[in-house]
Amino acid sequence: MLRLDGSQKHRIELTVNGKQHSGEAPPRLLLCDFLRHELGLYGTHVGCEHGVCGACTILMNGRAVRSCTQYAVQADGQEIQTVEGLNNGDTLTDLQDAFRQRHALQCGFCTPGILMSVTHFLNCTTNPSEIDIRDMLSGHICRCTGYDSIVKAILDVAETRAIEAKNQQDK
């Protein structure tokens, strides 16, 4: 059993975007704040801080989850992916490129969280309908786009990936 004193910092080791990271955190430090201020990964945005807006969504062990309603100490030993891990920095992934093509972002505050959600969503949903996509997007708040362009971008990626998967099968 692990017992940590609330007034002290504790060493945390975890994998972020495939690399081993470590840092220090008191138990009350939110995971999103740890990623930003301790590890310097500012791609994860912090909005409402109570799990509603979706800006802080990351992948933990492959699943899209909020990083504002869990604590850094809980992530010890876990595998995390943030928006920085989607590509190596020079090129866009198919998903990011579709967002660019479809103008699925304006201010970009909600975008990292949405990209992480969609990454998990498309991994576990093949051929999603527009209704499926909108249902998944209900966990995010975007005040710029009106969502339509985001939905179209996701549909584009889903269709392209379905065609690629079919071509792969036919080979």
Partner 1 sequence: MKPVAFDYCRPDTVEETTALLHEYGHDASVLAGGMSLGPMLNMRLVRPSVIVDINRITELEQVGLTNGLVQTGSTVRQADVMDDSELLNQVPLLKLALPFVGHFQTRNRGTLGGSVGHADPSAEIPLCLATLGGEVELASRRGKRLVRASEFFLGVLTTTRRAGELITSLYWPQHTDSTYYAFDEVAQRHGDFAIAAAACAVTLDEQKRINKISLGFGGVEDKPVLASLTAFVGAEPTCSLASEIAFTATKDLNPMEDATAGAAYRTSLATTLGRRVLQKAITEAGGR
Binding region for partner 1 (CB under 8 A): 1-7, 26-28, 30, 33, 49-52, 54, 57, 63-66, 68-71, 73-74, 117, 120-121, 135-136, 138-140
The residue among 104 and 136 lying less far from partner 1, judged by its C-beta, is 136
Q: How many CA atoms lie within 13 A of 119 on its CB side?
A: 25
The residue among 69 and 106 lying less far from partner 1, judged by its C-beta, is 69
User: What is the C-alpha separation between 74 and 70, in angstroms, rounded?
Assistant: 7
CB of 48 to partner 1, least distance (A): 8
Angle in degrees, CA 116, 118, 124, rounded to 5: 115
| Residues ≥6 apart with Cβ < 8 Å to 112 | 43, 44, 45, 55, 57, 82, 83
The residue among 42 and 139 lying less far from partner 1, judged by its C-beta, is 139
CB of 150 to partner 1, least distance (A): 14
CB of 24 to partner 1, least distance (A): 14
CB of 61 to partner 1, least distance (A): 10
- Any bridge partners for residue 22, and if so which? 13
The residue among 63 and 166 lying less far from partner 1, judged by its C-beta, is 63
Nearest to 56 by CA among 18, 82, 89: 82
The residue among 52 and 155 lying less far from partner 1, judged by its C-beta, is 52
User: What is the C-alpha separation between 85 and 135, in angstroms, rounded?
Assistant: 25
CB of 54 to partner 1, least distance (A): 6
